[in-house]
Structures are given as C-alpha cells and as structure tokens.
Structure 1
Amino acid sequence: MAEGNGADSRPAGPGSQPRDPGDSLETQPGGWRGAPLGVTDGNAGPNLKEWLREQFCDHPIEHCEDTRLHDAAYVGDLQTIRSLLQEESFQSRINEKSVWCCGWLPCTPLRIAATAGHGNCVDFLIQKGAEIDLVDVKGQTALYVAVVNGHLECAQILLEAGADPNGSRHHRSTPVYHASRVGRADILKELIRYGADVDVSPSLAPGAPPPASRRLTSLVVCPLYISAAYHNLQCFKLLLQAGANPDFNCHGPVNVQGFCRGSPVCVMDAVLRHGCEAAFVSLLVDFGANLNLVKWEALNAESRGRVKVNPEALQVFKEARSKCNELKTCCYLYIHSFIEHLLCAYCARCWD
C-alpha cells in the first residue's frame, strides 16, 4: 500500500527504485507500506496501531473493534461485504475510517479495497453509498492509492463513478504525477480522459504562501519532468498531447531565479541533462517549446562533464534552435523591410 507524506521527489535515476512525493514509509511483507521507520519488534506494532486508533479513528476505540467490513474489503470478500451491508449498523459505517487486520493507518473500506485492487468490491461499495473522494490521514484518496498500486480496473471504476482525477490537494503527489513517474501510460491515458490536470498549479499546493508569491520554484514536481527523468517516452508524449506546457509544465508564474543552482531551468533543459533520447527533444520542438530558454553554452566544463547528454538529442536540439534563430532573423528582416516600405510610401504621400 502506498502511504506517503511527500518527503522527497528527486529522481533516483533510471536504474534505481523510483521515488514519489507521496512515499516515505517502509513496505510491509506482501508489498504493503505502512510501518514507520524503526517500528519492527512484535510489541511496537500493536502499540502503534492502538495509538493510531486513538488519534485518527472516527469513533472511540470500543466502537472500532469490529473491523469485519474493513477486513473483507482487504481480502476482496465480496460475499461478506454484501452480507454485512444488509445490516443497518454496518451501512452507517461504510465511510468509517478504522485500522483493519493488516493495516496501520485508519482507512475506509473503499480506500482499502482500492489499495488491494479488488475492483468488484470497489464497485459494490460505491453502489452502496461509499464516498469516493474521502481522504485518509495522509490526504490520499481511493483513486490515488489505486494508481500507486497499479490497479487500472479500480482506477477506471472510480473515475467513472466521479472520482476527482487530480486526487486531493491535501496530498503532495497526484495520480498523474505517479503514473508519469512509473510509466503507466494506460492509467495516465484514463486520468487524462477524465479531465486530469496535466500542468502543476502551485496555488493549490498544501501550505502555499499568499497568492501574490505563489510561483513554481522547481521542475521536480512536474509530471513532464518526472516522465523525462525516468525516460517514459509514451507518458511524456501523452502529457504534451493533453496540453501540458512544454516549457515549465505549470499554470501561473514561474520563479526561475528561485530554482536550485545547477538544476534544469525548463523541461527541455531537463530532457538534455537526463540523457533522454532524441525523441523527447523532437516532441518538445513539435509542441512549441521555447528553445532559447536553455543556456547550454553557459555551462562550464566542470558541470557539463557531470551531465550525461545524449549526443543525438543534443544535435537535434542544436539544429532546431539554429533553424529557430534563422527564422527569427528572416522575420526581423521582413518586418524591417515592410516598415521601411511603409515609411517611404508615407513620405512620398507627404511630399505630394
């Protein structure tokens, strides 16, 4: 289960385990994340679960002991879920957040079923009135955890039922970002089909400063950047086709001066720095990226030596920028000639 707080979103490189702004807890056996670092002995686990129950469960502990509905959602036991939801007491608890048999964080049955990939259970719980966009204590929606765990069917069911394709503004990652990072083009395509935002909006970031100073200060949070960093060409192309800003992948103002020293200043710069193949450069050129944002010649020999640039990609970039500059020169000469012609005509008319 993916459970994170957005501690780090720096790419670890194509050959290492991907990181996500929403991942920071260890993985339990069977692929279930949830045990905080340092909690490993047999006594600490139950104690932590008790503390989580006290802090985050929707009802007092004595009312949260019966977790049969949550446990059934975890194992995908649709028959038990059907049976339990015939009882009024369980119907009223369909959106209750509780710690279940194998979990650490209090979650709703829908959130648990989506995490485990039980599409039939997800569909049935929605039909019975489960709230789709409820978040867990870390701001994760059912759709987000379905995407993080790679469950396309669950994601489709949730989206069709009206789930917000952007996840929750209270979580530092988004379904689009995660799908772009791990290269799940099939999931990304569904998110885009249901209207997911492919550009970052700094104004919606948790804890954002006043509107006047909300500016993008890092490309690391952008889906285009992360898909390039992990060389996911198909996702990169889907984002551009969906209208992603080819320069900064962002809504609103950008504070390039606030970027960390030595970090990419635009998406094209990132593509070159991460050694992406020429197809990435060609796509950015085709979708109208500003090639003059890349100050490639300004890099000194030392920093350029640390950059593993794809020679073919660099050549495509240089040729495209050369053509762009030639076109600008031609336009300038044409405009200059046109203005000169107008002035001559105006002067001739004045003399007449």
Structure 2
Amino acid sequence: MAGASNPGVPEPGSPGDLGAQRPSGGPSTTSGNAGRNLKEWLKEQFCDHPIEHCEDTRLHDAAYVGDLATIQRLLQEDSFQSRINEKSVWSCGWLPCTPLRIAATAGHGNCVNFLIQKGAEIDLVDVKGQTALYVAAVHGHLECVHILLEAGADPNGSRHHRSTPVYHAARVGRADILRELIKYGADVDVNHHVTSVTPNPSFRPLTSLVVCPLYISAAYHNLQCFKVLLEAGADPDFNCCGPVNIQGFSRGSAVCIMDAVLRHGCDKAFVSLLIDFGANLNLVKWEDPVEGALGRIRVNSEGLQMFKEARSCPRRLMALCRMAVRRGLGKSRLHLIGALPVPDPIKKFLLHE
C-alpha cells in the first residue's frame, strides 16, 4: 500500500517537497506578488548569506535538474566551492536547501556522489530539520540512499525532525530502502519525538501507544516491512523505553503492537509474526471486539482466532530458546548469527528462515 493515505494514523513529520511549503501564518501564495514576497521573506530568514549574495543560484539549479557537467564546472571556481553547503532559495523553489539536499530529493545519484566528493556536508539539515538521506528515502530514491549511507550519513536522520528514514520507509512499504537503512545500522525502534521530549526514560509514564516504525507498517498493512523490522530486532511490544501507564490509556486505545495489529484488522500473518518473535500476548486485555471498543476498524477474524489460540497455550521450548538467544545478542548483533559456531539449521531457525 505504498503511498496510501490513512487519516486515522498519526504521522510524525511531513516529508516535504522541493519547496512548495510555506510557513504557517505566512503570506498566501495565490498571487504573483505574494509568492515573490514569500520568497524574499524566506531569503531574509533562512539564507546563509545576505540576499544580494544569494542571487546566483546556478549551482542549486544544476543540482535540481541533475546537470552534473555544470556542477563540475561551477565547483572548479572558488566562489562556488565555498558555497557548496549554502542553504539558498534557488529559482526552482522556495525552501532554503543545500545543493546536496536538492539533488537527493530529485534522485540524481551522480550529482549526490560528486557533491559529497567535493566536500558537501552529508548530515546538514534544512530549515525543516530534514537531512539529505531523509528526503532521498521520502522520495523513494534507493540509489541516493545507498550513496549517502556509504558516505557515512546517519541512518536515523536528524533529531531535529520528528520522523525518521526508517519510519517513512515502513509507512510507504519500501522494504528495499528499509533493508538498506538497517544494513548501515539504523535503529528500527527509534522515535525522535519521544526521546527528545522525554530525555529521561523514567521521567513520565506514557498513556498512549507510541507510533514507531513497526506500528506504522502494520497500520498501513505493509507486511514485508513489518517482517523486515522484526527480523532486524524491532521490539514486538514497543511502546517506549520507559514505564507505561496502561490504566491511563483512553478507552479503545491500543496498548501494544499486538493490540494495534488486531484493531487495524491486519491479516493473520501479522499476528503470526508477532507471536513468533515473542510478543507479550497478555498485554492485550480485551476478549472480543465489542468489549474492546475497537471503533470503526473491523478486526480480522482469522487473526483474532490465531491470537486467542496462542494466548491459551504455553509457548514451545524451542521458541523460548530462540527468543532468549536473540534477546541476548541484542539488535546490534543479530547480523552475527551467521557466524555462530552452530549447525546451519540452527542458524536458520534463529534467523526465522
């Protein structure tokens, strides 16, 4: 369901485009004069240099259209080389961005690669807190994502933006981009908004289910991404790294990933995966859809039946052993399972293959 819209699911942060947005409360862009005024305002507020020094936007324009030859020629001049990380309002848009951010948004991998080689700062954020990697992921440019990660870009994006590359890839169903991010060390449970507002995990118990990549992939019914995240060590019970006040949850609010999967009417394959990866089935307190006040979303009957059967039976010893080994290794070392001195069938079992 890539790109699907789900008004019932919160989205931390909007992806943004090459410059169509305007600040809240700013002037309207419906007329030519208003549009020009907005552009001047953005220049005054966000450009790295005085307005009169930002008029030559050839470097930014070339990054937008993917004109590598022009970028190469311009960067031979000291004046343009010194502006390689300049956030300028260029002629093709309004949002102040660096050439690297523009090229990554447009999907020009060759330009992204060359700009990095010439000294472009990889993790520099735009005025919305978005990195070049984030916008490349948002616009589905796998090649640019790979180039940026290979060059050392932070796979988790920026703490100044509420969303993350992993979250967005999970939301739109881009398992290929998700795998690439995970390969370079992305945290599959990260939630910048929660960690930024509650730096101390034990500071305040949460009273709502935190929207994380695993949750959002289920909400949009992206099974492949859901599986990729769990295989990479995503917490099947993720809510927050701190305490959770379930009693404080509003009626009808999901309290864990399994609860959310059932409420969103996900296929039984989602339930099966959560069971296999060790979700705590006792966190779900309701017994049927009516008692749970599940709202407008219809529960998948097969998924609900699978959940009830699993909760009524103890887990097998082999499953408990696999869960214990994977938790002992931790997310950051799951990739080492293949190097364990155990027979291949056991490795495949630990990897859920």
User: Per the shorter chain, which TM-score range?
Assistant: 0.7 to 0.9
Residues 1:22 and 2:22 aligned together: no
Instruction: State which of 254, 265, 284 in structure 2 corresponds to 1:264.
Output: 254
Distance in 1 of aligned mates of 2:263 and 2:102: 39
Residue from 135, 140, 161 that aligns with 1:171: 161
CA contact (8 A) 1:199 1:250 kept: no
- 1:326 CA displacement: 11
Please tell me whether the aligned partners of residues 113 and 122 of structure 1 are also in contact (alpha carbons under 8 angstroms): yes
Paired with 1:22 and 1:293, the residues of 2 have a C-alpha distance of: 29
Q: How large is the RMSD of aligned CA atoms in angstroms?
A: 2.6
Structure 2 residue aligned with 1:280, among 270, 283, 292? 270
User: Is residue 12 of structure 1 aligned with residue 22 of structure 2?
Assistant: no
Q: Report the Cα distance in structure 2 between the residues aligned to 1:197 and 1:67, rounded to whole angstroms.
A: 37
- Counterpart contact for 1:202–1:215, Cα < 8 Å: no
2: CA distance, partners of 1:323 / 1:250: 28
Distance change (3 Å), C-alpha of 1:195 and 1:249: farther
Match of 2:74 among 81, 84, 101: 84
Distance change >3 Å, CA 205–CA 90, structure 1 → 2? same
Among 148, 163, 187, which residue is 2:138 paired with? 148
Do the aligned residues in 1 keep the contact of 2:162 with 2:193 (CA within 8 Å)?
no
Q: State how far apart, in whole Å, the 1-side matches of 2:148 and 2:70 are.
A: 21
User: Alignment partner of 1:143: what SS?
Assistant: helix
Cross-structure match for 1:319: 309
Asked whether 1:197 is paired with 2:215, we answer no
Where 1:265 maps in the other structure, the secondary structure is coil
| Distance verdict in 2 for CA 1:194–1:305, change over 3 Å | closer
1:209, CA displacement in angstroms? 6.0
Residue correspondence of structure 1 range 30-179 to structure 2 within 5 A: 33-35=20-22, 38-179=28-169
| Correspondence for 2:338 | none
Any unmatched runs of 5+ in structure 2?
Answer: 318-353
For residue 314 of structure 2, give the secondary structure of its aligned residue in structure 1.
helix
Q: Is the 8 A contact 1:223 1:249 kept in 2?
A: no
In structure 2, the CA distance between the partners of 1:49 and 1:19, relative to structure 1 (3 Å rule), is farther
Task: Note if contact 2:48-2:87 (Cα within 8 Å) is conserved in structure 1.
Answer: yes
Match of 1:238 in 2: 228
Tell me the alpha carbon deviations over residues 282-323 of structure 1, each in whole angstroms, 9 at most, x when there is no partner: 000000000010012276458246440001101110110111
Aligned partners of 2:138, 2:193: CA distance in 1, in Å?
24
Q: Which moved more, 1:35-44 or 1:201-210?
A: 201-210
Do the aligned partners of residues 209 and 166 (structure 1) sit closer, same or farther apart at CA in structure 2, a change above 3 Å counting? Answer: closer
Q: CA deviation at 1:83?
A: 0.2
Residues 170-214 of structure 1: CA deviation (Å, up to 9, x unaligned)? 100000000000000000010011110011356863444655415
> Helix, strand or coil for the counterpart of 2:32?
coil
Which stretch of the first structure deviates more once superposed, 207-216 or 38-47?
207-216
Amino acid paired to 1:283: L
Gaps of 5+ in 1: 1-9, 328-352
Aligned to 2:326: none
Aligned to 2:110, the other structure's residue is in SS state helix
8 Å CA contact 1:171–1:206 kept in 2: the answer is no
Deviations 1:331-350 (A, max 9, x none): xxxxxxxxxxxxxxxxxxxx
| Higher Rg | 1
User: 1:24-69, CA deviations, whole angstroms, 9 ceiling, x for partnerless residues?
Assistant: 86x7xxx864245743222211111110110111111111111110
CA shift for structure 1 position 261: 3.6
In 1: Cα distance, 2:292 partner to 2:239 partner? 29
Which of 209-218 and 160-169 deviates more?
209-218
Q: Cα–Cα, structure 1 residues 44 and 92, in superposed 2: closer, same or farther, change >3 Å? A: same
- Rounded Cα–Cα distance in structure 2 between residues aligned with 1:36 and 1:124: 32
How much does 1:254 deviate? 3.3
Alpha-carbon distance change, 90 to 305 in structure 1, aligned in 2, over 3 angstroms = closer
Give 3-state SS (helix, strand or coil) of 2:21's partner: strand
**Matched residue of 1:191: which SS?**
helix
For the residue of structure 2 that corresponds to 1:99, the secondary structure is coil
SS at 1:43 equivalent:
helix
Q: How far did 1:140 drift? A: 0.3
Counterpart CA distance in 1 for 2:292 and 2:305 is 21
* 1:190 partner amino acid: E
- Pick the aligned partner of 2:213 from 205, 220, 223: 223
Larger deviation, residues 220-229 vs 159-168: 220-229
**C-alpha separation between the residues in 2 aligned to 1:124 and 1:24?**
25
**Change in 2 beyond 3 A, CA 1:201/1:91:** same
Measured after TM superposition, the shift of residue 255 of structure 1 is 3.9
